[in-house]
Amino acid sequence: MGHGIVTGFDGSARSEAAVGWAAADAARQGEPLRIVHAWPWLGSAWSDGPAAAPHRGALEELEGLADRLRGTHPGLDVVTEAVADDPADALLARAAEHRLVVLGSRGLGGFAGLLVGSVGLAVAARSTTPVVLVRDGAPAAPAGAADRPEIVVGVAGESSAAVLEFAFAEAERRGARVRAVHGWEAVPFWTAAGWMPPQEDVELRGAELMDVLTKALAPVRAAHPGVEAVAETRTGGAAHALVAASAQADLVVVGRRQHRLGTRLGAVAHAAIHHCTAPVAVVPHD
């Protein structure tokens, strides 16, 4: 695992929110922050044309933003970098050298993107390093809805080990608690009122899944004994359960399977990114 945080900036409010969140997290952990501005035509003949105006403005904002961050977080090591490259490729090339990638996200309808709307999606789907997507308006240093911040993590079988480790490690760093959620669909049956699940079956299946979830949490709880953790199962499916549980979360953690055909995110990750108001961490796993 690399060290420090890399984030992208394109002059938009969404990317500025992501940079602010990344700076607060880097300062909290005593890690360096690298801010990347990527522009395909940087340094070329295009840099003097009309298409370069947003790029020049973003560079000026980038330097001003870095100065403000150093003032807000004294001692924070901030490095800025402007590169002539596709934004997604530039960020992916630097991802492996860092612990975390942080990018802006529109949520509810798409990704902010750096110059193009697909950058956040492309990086989250292809990065071997966890990617956090931050919505515009998200606080740079969330305080949680209660006395302690909370991290919500979606749990889906044995493949969740790496996702759980990330969630518990982040909770340990932040002094947060973990809410581990498993969502499932109840099998309905037909009545005069329509399709309904038998209540006794729901309760039995819920108890069985809670036992499985508790066992899945045992190793990571043992590895992080100081982290308070709550386990819960919810009906309505994995995506619905995760979004519902995240209403007051400071960070939502979902998994993304690696080595799949293509570079697509799963349905649960998409639901979290589009519908959770909290920042969403997408964690790759085998």
CB 285 within 8 A of CB 159: yes
Chain segment 144-191, per-residue pLDDT in tens? 445 679 999 999 866 579 999 999 999 999 999 999 999 887 765 555
Judged against a pLDDT cut of 50, whether residue 274 lies above it is answered with yes
Q: Which domains does the chain have, with CATH numbers?
A: 5-135 (3.40.50.620), 150-285 (3.40.50.620)
Across 69-78, 112-121, 143-152, 188-197, least confident range: 112-121
In this structure, the strands spanning 150-154 and 131-135 are unpaired
CB 133 within 8 A of CB 105: yes
In this predicted structure, what is the pLDDT of residue 156? 82
In this predicted structure, what is the pLDDT of residue 200? 58
Judged against a pLDDT cut of 70, whether residue 205 lies above it is answered with yes
CA atoms of 6 and 101, how far apart (whole Å): 5
Residue for token digits 């998994």?
255
Between the ranges 19-33, 112-126, 261-275, where is the mean pLDDT highest?
19-33
Residue for token digits 């709880």?
221
Judged against a pLDDT cut of 50, whether residue 46 lies above it is answered with no
Note the pTM of the prediction, 2 decimals. 0.84
Three-state secondary structure of 28-97: HHCCCEEEEEECCCCCCHHHHCHHHHHHHHHHHHHHHHHHHHHHHCCCCCEEEEEECCCHHHHHHHHHCC
CA atoms of 286 and 282, how far apart (whole Å): 13
